[in-house]
Amino acid sequence: MTTFRINSKTVSFDGDGDTPLLWVLRDELRMTGTKFGCGIGQCGACTVHINGQAQRSCVTPVAAVANQAITTIEGLAAADDRLHPVQQAWLELDVPQCGYCQAGQIMATVDFLKRFPAPSDEDIDNNMTNLCRCGTYARIRKAIHRAAELSAASSSTGARE
């Protein structure tokens, strides 16, 4: 049995420890915000946070997350339902086209902005590796810059990042 925390709730999985975390999230826990894209860790549609770091859940065996803290797109907003600054920026700038990859894009961006709080276009180009088949990269870049602004503003006022 593998026990871990998902969006601040302790859960257990009593199946094969080699099962990808993605399938435990989607099939066992019915958390369908995390998407299947490629199955080989390349596209990023399945990105979640494990102990605060973005990771591809399609190539992460559930046994590897034992006693770890996982956050999915469903758990990114604050407990009072305030959107995370990245989610807010995505909505303000109407980023999604089809929307399929966007949960993974958002989760990757949250982690990216921890490392690059005021990113340049070059920082974004060199570090954001999630794929978007619709090609909304220009809107994604604008939203990353907007999320950085919103995060900086909330930090200066003492609000949640």
Q: What is the pLDDT averaged over residues 91-110? A: 93
List Cβ neighbours of 58 (8 Å cut-off, separation of 6 or more).
20, 21, 22, 36, 37, 38, 39, 40, 41, 46
Q: Are 131 and 37 a contacting pair, CB within 8 Å?
A: yes
pLDDT at 160 over 70: no
- Domain architecture of the chain: domains with CATH: 2-75 (3.10.20.30), 85-156 (1.10.150.120)
Q: Are 57 and 47 a contacting pair, CB within 8 Å?
A: yes
Q: Which has more confidence, 157 or 118?
A: 118
* Burial letters 14-53, b for 16+ CB under 10 A, else e: eeeeebbbbbbbbeebebebbbbbeeebebbbbbbbbeee
Q: What is the pLDDT averaged over residues 94-106? A: 92
Which pTM was predicted? 0.91
Q: What is the pLDDT averaged over residues 119-139? A: 94
pLDDT of 80:
77
What percentage of the chain reaches a pLDDT higher than 70? 96
